[in-house]
Structure 1
Amino acid sequence: MNKTAYFHPALRIVHWLMAAAILAMLFIGVAMVSTVSSLHSVLVSIHKPLGVMILLLVIVRLWLRFTTATPALPVSLPAWQRAMAHLSHWALYLMMLAQPLIGWAMLSAAGYPITLGNGLVLPPIMPVNNDWYAILRPLHTWVALALFATVMLHLAAALLHALVLRDGVFSSMTGIRKP
């Protein structure tokens, strides 16, 4: 596959949409589990369709990632940093794909429907089962925490490349040419 200086525009759009959606989802999730007020049902009604949107976007993103040219990391980066960058990206993809599926399975195991509004209800992906719910509920939390930590590391690396190294890595995802 030919290399390029920038990620495909569609991939950049999906990246930034997902960044906003995932950050919103993480904060909504924290607020949702820490409140028992009437706000809880509003947060749940946002959380479910946002999770489905993230699932769909990560599928589109993976398709774009495999079908479009990607910029190479700078040769100035040590091999271990390039390896960590690739590992962290695949960890992000895995968690972005797994987290909504775990949530869907968890709600299915609990017997709760995934309602997306306008009467649209997703089918359960597993039978009602309290034992599975007891496993999936904390797993959903642990993956969320791991996702949050990995996103923060990703953000720190992006800022390092943008503000300190100025090596074109950040601009490859923004599409803004560095001066």
Structure 2
Amino acid sequence: MRPIEHFPLFARILHWLMAAMILVMLFIGIIMVSTVEPAYHRLIDLHRPLGICILLLAVVRLVNRLLMRIPPLPETLPPALRLAARTSHIVLYALMIAMPLVGWGMLSAEAYPVVMWSDFALPPILPHDPTLFAILRGLHTWLALTLFGAVLVHLAAALMHGLLLRDDVLPSMTGGRRHRAVDDPAS
């Protein structure tokens, strides 16, 4: 079976949509912690439903990823970088799912509703418990910092593949043209 050259269009759309949503969410979170009333409440009103949307899309993306074939990593990639690529993707998926769940649990523990829109709020997933709220709030912050770091590493790896290695990893996710080897007769 011939290897595929690009991620399927649906996977690429999910990837770039979620990348934008996660960056927006991280910046909303950063601004939120340094903002006062009433801007804080407007930001939180964006933060909660966006987090739940990220959670839902992450689950869709994970299921899609488990069901589809993906382009192989280049043969020239050293084993350590192959392991780093696989590990970083596992970490990113775990964070995309854990962050919103911890946030939802944190709000549930403080008895705050997760309002998706004016007449619809999600049910609590944990009982009201101020101690649990404090623990989850700290965990949510650390997960956010970890996600920010993982996004930076992911971006650095994409730039490394696109600008330094000039291999087919970045074009496989952008849908762009694949690089041809110098000795490739098709070039």
TM-score by length of 1: 0.97
In structure 2, C-alpha distance between the alignment counterparts of 1:153 and 1:102, rounded to whole Å: 23
Aligned length in residues: 179
Q: Which has the higher helix share?
A: 1
- Structure 2 distance, partners of 1:78, 1:68, is 24
**8 A contact 2:115–2:122 mirrored in 1:** yes
Matched with 2:45 is: 45
Equivalent residue, structure 2, for 1:176: 176
| Pair 1:21 & 2:21 matched | yes
Structure 2 runs not aligned, ≥5 long: 180-187
Distance 1:108 1:118 in 2: 18
Which segments of 5 or more consecutive residues in structure 1 lack a partner in the other structure?
none
Q: Summarize deviations over 1:55-107 as a string: whole Å, max 9, x none.
A: 01101100110111101100101001000110000000000000000000000
Equivalence for 2:143: 143
In 2, the alpha carbon distance for the partners of 1:134 and 1:149 equals 23
Alpha-carbon contact 2:172-2:178 (below 8 Å) kept: no
Query: In percent, how many aligned pairs have the same letter?
Result: 52
Q: Which amino acid aligns with 2:53?
A: M
Deviation at 1:165, TM superposition (A): 1.0
Question: After TM superposition, which residue ranges in structure 1, 4 or more long, deviate above 3 angstroms?
Answer: none
1:133 lines up with 2:133 in the alignment: yes
Offset of residue 36 of structure 1:
1.1
1:111-164 deviation per Cα after TM superposition (whole angstroms, max 9, x unaligned): 000001131110000010011111100100000000000000000000111111
- Corresponding position of 1:85: 85
TM-score after normalising by structure 2: 0.93
Q: What is the alpha-carbon distance in structure 1 between the residues aligned to residue 72 and residue 178 of structure 2?
A: 16
Residues 61/44 of structure 1: CA separation in 2 closer, same or farther (3 Å cut): same
Matches within 5 A, 1:44-63: 44-63=44-63
